[in-house]
Structure 1
Amino acid sequence: MDPAKYKTVLTTRGFTYNYYFAAAATPSKPTILFCHGFPSTSSHWRREALFFEERGYGVVVPDMLGYGGTSKPTDTDDYLPSKVSRDIIDILDAEAIGKAIAVGHDWGSTAVSRLANHFPERFLAYAFFAVPYVPVRPPAPYEQLLALSKAKYGYELYGYWEYLASDEFETDFRAHPDAFVNILFPSDPNIWKTHMAPRGLLQKSMQDNYSAPLAQYITEEDKKETIAGFLENGFRGPTRWYDVLITNKAAKDNIATIPEQRRFPPVTAPIFFGAAKHDKASVPQQGYDVFASPPFKNHSVTLREFDGDHWIILSCAEEINRELLRWIEESVVATSLKASL
């Protein structure tokens, strides 16, 4: 993405956000907000962002809090979902964008979920990749989450979260940066099941300096950016996204700040879920279960499965662009026009 199209904004709570921006070519073309997750930056959305920009859509792609050129606070409380939601709205306000289409991947899907609760009036529709809409739930022990996933899927899907939130991760990363990239972006998706997801395996793999071929969709520039992002900018910012969850601070914030009537996206907003077929942490069935649940029975939900691992926004970008464009043209824009009549 053209570096000249990056801008910064100072949010109402005093943090600087770095974001890529391209204005919509015409009023009929909505603006799309792309939110990334861990350990990405806005650059991971490059193929999707440029695809839609070339077709006249507005595009906003922030480096999320803790990443890239955006502020990197180290206090977990700064990553509370209600606060991050306000930050993102500040970006839209800075560009005078009344309503947008929110698209998320990984932790970006969590951010989009909370935008749907806190600011539903600012969005036309919501799209989630790999990670589905994340329901508002009461605080629960991290151990319980691990036990539930192991009972259902045979292994702990999120056993690596506590390690990433720990100081030990920084020590191990500095000693074995290549091992982290090898594990996170492997050519064989099953490595997540054998070397990362179950509790204790990521730490052991890091300390063993694990090596394996990288996935073809990861460029040398991606690898350098990932490693440099941690070594130059620190670890506590990006990993606070994990800490705010496992400490239940996010759940408590959600319960305290989201009214009962806003616990799910508005039924008038179309939803898209793109599952990653070979994802061994955010397994597709989780998303299918969420959108098959009673709260979504009256929603317009489009489900698609892409033949890739967790990083489908990199490996399956061409197909994602095709399906997302069709959904926007046939569901989102059509619904918006109907509502305005």
Structure 2
Amino acid sequence: MPERESFTSPESGHQYSFIYLPATSHPNPTLLFLHGFPSQLNDWAFQIAYFSSHGYGVVAPDLLGYGQSSKPDDAAQYRLKHISDDIYRLLDHLDLPSVVGVGHDFGATLLSRMVAYESTRWSALVFLAVGPPRMGTPFDLDMVNSMTKDFLGYELLGYIAWLGGDEAEEAQAALESHPEAAMSLVFPADQSVWEEWYRPLGKMKQFVTEDRRVAVGPWYTPKLQQHHLDSFARKDGYKGAVRWYKMWKQNLFLPDEAGHENFKTNLPVLFIGDSNSAQQQDMLKAWAPRMKSVQLQAGHWLSLNRRRENLDEFHIVLATFNELLAHCHDESMQSCLGGTVVGRSNEGRDEAKSSRHENQMCLVFGPEMGEKGGSDVNCGGVICRDLKIELGEIDGLRRCEVKCSLDAGIDDHTVQIWVSPGNSPCEIWDGSQVAQVESMGYGLFATVSLNEGI
């Protein structure tokens, strides 16, 4: 891991521990990683290593109350508006006017509120496992637990009654006294244990105070476990964690959200969850209509799960999303990531060559393995009418055919894109020319050269 740095917010006086690695490849964006409960920045180790090695910038703080950051006593200090202001001042300190936000668990909820308070600071948003509710929605814990008890047979959020209720201080002391029991329950190898020991009312308290154990997920490596215990197995280790839940249970965030009840964003949004996350997706899509969703069978801790295929797939999905951002101009970004087909010309192209359809590119993007069609694309004056993308598979290779009629004295043309398995570059064959295209785990994009004679 990179060296930690420290920043003190001039507004709150709170100190934040964070790591920062600037982007090394233009135009790669910087990713801001916001963790949830009970985590700290070390739990982003895989993402930090992967994306920084691919030229992306990375910022990952210990959020207020966690790790090496400040741990105030007052639950009101953990209002998401206050923390948002602090993180924005950190971004100002790092001279980062715009970032891609990546939030997991409670960090996803924080990210959603940060966007509502300052929407111009983001190029895209990624929500992991949690789809935050619409702004201004009161949190009624008793109602949620009563309804889920009737429907599921157990309370979905019973643990919040212990962590954020009248016994919060006792919960903090118990968690700090039995940190390995708590860690095994929160990061289990078999997440189904949550239905017995985590979610139902009173069961997390019983599990921790009786110092029980379940197997920790093998993806939560011994090194990560030690980082976790270094942060939480000490006095005030869980102080911030329980105060986040007190803040939420007591609806201390609501006054800050007044006037934002109808907030919606047109930013590109990616949700990554599992097959049980339909309700989370629905909550998110209510205020993020351009959301794209991907399912990974990796459980709640999908950013940590070290089963190779899940970790690789998570990285491919997120890297693809950011590659698309890097290749789309501001004016076409929404269309590109919204699932339509867009076109653009090379910047600085020679206008004399333009008349011969040289040195021009069209960007085409199929967001899902399916069919898209009916779009017209204007690519430097060459108009592709009724462009269609058809995706299929032949002999184990995915094939993308881009078909359109060109209004430039050029015959109808089909480009076949052969996409090899994995994430390696592949080629566009147009019958006479070869151009490069990158194969992605989430959709496809290609630069198609419109040269004379096509």
Same fold (TM over 0.5): yes
Map of 2:395 onto structure 1: none
Separation in 2, partners of 1:16, 1:110: 21
Aligned residue among 220, 227, 234 for 1:225: 227
Over 3 Å counting, the alpha-carbon distance change for 1:210 and 1:284 in structure 2 is same
Q: Structure 2 counterpart of 1:305, which letter?
A: Q
Question: Larger Cα Rg: Structure 1 or Structure 2?
Answer: 2
Deviations 1:63-117 (A, max 9, x none): 1111122111121111111111111101110011111110000111011111111
Separation in 1, partners of 2:39, 2:110: 14
Map of 1:323 onto structure 2: 317
Deviations 1:233-256 (A, max 9, x none): 51222221111110111233322x
Map of 1:308 onto structure 2: 298
Separation in 2, partners of 1:141, 1:189: 25
Map of 2:330 onto structure 1: 336
Over 3 Å counting, the alpha-carbon distance change for 1:337 and 1:163 in structure 2 is same
- 3-state SS of 1:313 partner: coil
Over 3 Å counting, the alpha-carbon distance change for 1:140 and 1:108 in structure 2 is closer
- Residues 1-341 of structure 1 mapped to structure 2, 5 A cutoff: 1-3=1-3, 6-11=4-9, 12-165=11-164, 166-234=168-236, 235-255=238-258, 258-260=259-261, 263-264=263-264, 266-267=265-266, 269-277=267-275, 283-293=276-286, 295-296=287-288, 299-315=289-305, 316-331=310-325, 333-334=327-328, 336=330, 338=332
Structure with bigger helix share is 1
Q: Structure 1 counterpart of 2:91, which letter?
A: L
Deviations 1:152-171 (A, max 9, x none): 44432111012123122133
- 3-state SS of 1:66 partner: coil
* TM-score after normalising by structure 1: 0.89
Deviations 1:153-193 (A, max 9, x none): 44321110121231221332244322111211111111011
Aligned length: 326
Separation in 1, partners of 2:197, 2:43: 23
Q: Structure 1 counterpart of 2:83, which letter?
A: V
Separation in 2, partners of 1:124, 1:21: 18
The answer to whether the 8 A contact 1:276-1:309 is kept is yes
Separation in 1, partners of 2:243, 2:82: 13
Separation in 2, partners of 1:99, 1:302: 21
The answer to whether the 8 A contact 2:159-2:201 is kept is yes
The answer to whether the 8 A contact 1:36-1:108 is kept is yes
- 3-state SS of 1:240 partner: helix
Over 3 Å counting, the alpha-carbon distance change for 1:174 and 1:15 in structure 2 is closer
Q: Structure 2 counterpart of 1:2, which letter?
A: P
Structure with bigger strand share is 2
Map of 2:423 onto structure 1: none
Aligned alpha-carbon RMSD (Å): 2.1
Separation in 2, partners of 1:186, 1:160: 16
Shift of 1:140: 4.3
Shift of 1:137: 3.2
Greater CA drift, 299-308 or 146-155: 146-155
The answer to whether the 8 A contact 1:40-1:226 is kept is yes
Greater CA drift, 33-42 or 161-170: 161-170
The answer to whether the 8 A contact 1:270-1:332 is kept is no
Shift of 1:51: 1.1
Q: Structure 2 counterpart of 1:193, which letter?
A: E
Map of 1:280 onto structure 2: none
Over 3 Å counting, the alpha-carbon distance change for 1:223 and 1:78 in structure 2 is same
Shift of 1:26: 4.2
Q: Structure 1 counterpart of 2:283, which letter?
A: V
Over 3 Å counting, the alpha-carbon distance change for 1:274 and 1:335 in structure 2 is farther
Separation in 2, partners of 1:260, 1:136: 5
% identical aligned pairs: 27
Q: Structure 2 counterpart of 1:253, which letter?
A: D
Greater CA drift, 154-163 or 222-231: 222-231
The answer to whether the 8 A contact 2:188-2:215 is kept is yes
Separation in 1, partners of 2:329, 2:101: 15
Over 3 Å counting, the alpha-carbon distance change for 1:70 and 1:9 in structure 2 is same
The answer to whether the 8 A contact 2:33-2:61 is kept is yes
